[in-house]
């Protein structure tokens, strides 16, 4: 029955062009010649009978093909087996007539007459495993790529959100330049830069801006603020920093070789704003106060001097640059 089952199974393997699994009851004294043990199998049977092992398995290479060989002994002979496997005179006559009086006889009680052996080719199984591994690896790779893409997407979204939040925290909502919060932080750090002679703080105020809002409305006033910010942003240098610190009040931290250079820079800004045309209202003017950072300065002292310089510019008639030299 076992052999018939294996035959049917091997038919299916053959139909799929897969090498057969070899199955037999290996015996040193078989009645069916198909089960005659090979030299290798006889040695294994000898080990079973000597009680050296109760199973045998090994990896084999035959004609450059790999196989797994497994052997397991069947039950040992007992008294009831002797009728058919001891003296042929004691065996049923039909059995002797069919098999003869040699094969399968003259056995002893306690002997292991045979064992089940299975020789399974590995090539097909390995190829199947390789196909499964490649399929699994491909699926895993796709999954990892999907997971990585999702993680990367969310990281980018978080980075974008963080950058947006940082911009909202640091930039003025209307003009998109640095706000008063950043200005306050930067001027506090001026305390750590007392030896950096050559730094200047400029405070800018739009002259008569209240009348612009009162006459043309706040929407027009907002457009003036945005246009002025664009003009100054394009005119300052890379190392300058530009802020909106109040309604119509702006500030610039700037580095120059001398006070004269700083004053010339501020004058250029003033003239450029005055020469520009603003929607509905035409031209506007600005006043600028300048203070230089001294070695013993704090940020607060620097700001107070620049603010006083701006006040003096307004008091002097506006549309001008004023420098406060007092320390």
Q: Are residues 201 and 295 in the same domain?
A: yes
Q: What does the CA dihedral 309, 315, 319, 325 come to, rounded to 10 degrees?
A: -20
Long-range contacts, stretch 266-273, CB < 8 angstroms, 24+ apart? 266/202, 266/290, 266/321, 267/321, 268/235, 269/204, 269/232, 269/235, 270/319, 270/320, 270/321, 272/231, 272/235, 273/228, 273/231, 273/232
Tell me the per-residue pLDDT of 187-246, one tens digit each, with 9 for 90 and over: 887 655 544 557 899 999 999 999 999 999 999 999 999 999 999 999 998 889 999 999
Looking at the structure, do residues 17 and 86 belong to the same domain, yes or no?
A: yes
* Same domain (yes/no): 66, 190: no
If one counts the domains in the chain, the total is 2
What pLDDT, on a 0 to 100 scale, did the predictor assign at position 226?
96
CATH code (residue 294): 3.30.70.270
The reply to whether 195 and 315 lie within a common domain is yes
| Domain identity same for 220 and 107 | no
**Residue owning tokens 């079973």:** 48
Token pair listed for 176: 């998109």
> What DSSP letter does each residue of 51-78 carry, written as one string?
TS-S-EEEEEEETTEEEEEEEEE-PPP-
**pLDDT score for 171:** 92
136-168 confidence digits (pLDDT tens)? 778 888 888 888 888 888 888 777 777 666 667
102 pLDDT higher than 90: no
Answer with the one of 94, 109, 124 that is the final residue of a domain. 124
In a domain, 158, yes or no: no
Tokens encoding 238: 């890379």
**Distance between CA 206 and CA 229 in Å, rounded?**
11
* Residue of 249, 292, 285, 291 lying closest to 269 (CA atoms): 285
Please give the residue that has the higher pLDDT: either 185 or 127.
185
* pLDDT, position 163: 66
Distances (CA, A) of 108 to 25, 46, 79, 85, 91: 18, 14, 9, 8, 14
Q: What is the pLDDT at residue 319?
A: 97
Domain membership flag for residue 98: yes
Which alpha helices (H) appear in 171-208, and where do they start and end? 180-189
Which residues span the domain enclosing 292?
Answer: 180-323
Query: Are 113 and 191 in a shared domain?
Result: no
How far apart, in whole angstroms, are the C-alpha atoms of residue 263 and residue 323? 8
| pLDDT score of 104 | 82
Phi-psi region of 17 (alpha: psi -120 to 50; beta: other; left: phi over 0): left
Structure confidence at residue 130 (pLDDT): 66
Residue 152 placed within a domain:
no
- Residue in this structure with the two tokens 């911009």, named with its chain if needed: 167
What's the chain's Rg over C-alpha atoms?
50
What is the rounded CA–CA span in Å between residue 28 and residue 38? 8
Which among 248, 264, 272, 315 is annotated as catalytic?
248
Q: Which of 126-130, 187-191, 270-274 has the lowest mean pLDDT?
A: 126-130
Q: Are residues 42 and 115 in the same domain?
A: yes
Q: Select, from the ranges 10-19, 43-52, 304-313, the one with the highest average predicted confidence (pLDDT).
A: 304-313
Residue 184 belongs to some domain of the structure? yes
Domain end (from 108, 124, 140): 124
Are residues 217 and 292 located together in one domain of the fold?
yes
Residue 287 pLDDT > 60, yes or no?
Answer: yes
pTM of the complete model? 0.53
- Is-catalytic flag, 248? yes
Phi, psi for residue 242 in degrees, rounded to 5: -115, 135
Residue 34 maps to a domain: yes
Assigned domain for 266 exists? yes
What is the distance, to the nearest Å, from the Cα of residue 12 to the centroid of all Cα atoms in its chain?
46
Q: Is the pLDDT of residue 123 over 60?
A: yes
12: in domain: yes
Instruction: Name the residue among 249, 262, 235, 255 with its Cα closest to residue 190.
Output: 255
Instruction: Give yes or no for residue 321 having a pLDDT over 90.
Output: yes
The mean pLDDT value for 107-126 works out to: 79
Q: Do both 189 and 311 map to the same domain?
A: yes
> Is 196 within 8 Å of 293 (Cβ atoms)?
yes
248, part of any domain: yes
Distance CA 180, CA 300 (A): 14
């Amino acid at each position: 029955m076992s052999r018939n089952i294996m035959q049917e199974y091997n038919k299916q393997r053959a139909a799929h062009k897969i090498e057969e699994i070899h199955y037999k009851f290996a015996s040193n004294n078989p009645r069916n010649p198909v089960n005659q043990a090979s030299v290798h199998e006889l040695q294994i049977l000898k080990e079973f009978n000597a009680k050296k092992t109760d199973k045998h398995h090994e990896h084999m290479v035959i004609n450059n093909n790999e196989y797994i060989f497994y052997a397991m002994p069947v039950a040992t002979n007992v008294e009831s087996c002797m009728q058919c496997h001891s003296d042929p005179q004691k065996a049923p006559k039909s059995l002797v007539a069919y098999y003869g009086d040699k094969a399968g006889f003259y056995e002893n009680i306690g002997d292991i007459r045979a064992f089940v052996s299975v020789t399974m080719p590995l090539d097909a199984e390995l190829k199947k495993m390789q196909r499964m591994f490649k399929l699994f690896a491909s699926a895993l790779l796709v999954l990892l790529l999907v997971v990585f893409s999702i993680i990367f997407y969310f990281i980018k979204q978080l980075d974008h959100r963080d950058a947006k939040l940082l911009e909202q925290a640091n930039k003025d909502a209307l003009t998109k330049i640095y706000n008063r919060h950043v200005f306050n932080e930067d001027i506090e750090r001026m305390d750590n830069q007392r030896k950096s002679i050559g730094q200047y703080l400029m405070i800018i105020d739009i002259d008569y801006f209240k009348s612009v809002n009162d006459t043309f409305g706040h929407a027009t006033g907002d457009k003036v603020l945005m246009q002025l910010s664009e003009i100054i942003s394009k005119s300052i240098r890379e190392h300058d920093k530009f802020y909106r610190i109040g309604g119509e009040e702006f500030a610039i931290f700037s580095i120059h070789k001398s006070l004269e250079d700083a004053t010339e820079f501020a004058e250029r800004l003033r003239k450029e704003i005055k020469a520009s045309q603003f929607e509905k209202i035409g031209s506007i003017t600005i006043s600028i106060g300048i203070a230089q950072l001294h070695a013993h300065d704090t940020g607060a002292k620097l700001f107070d001097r620049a603010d006083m310089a701006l006040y003096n510019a307004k008091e002097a008639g506006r549309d001008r640059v004023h420098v406060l030299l007092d320390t």
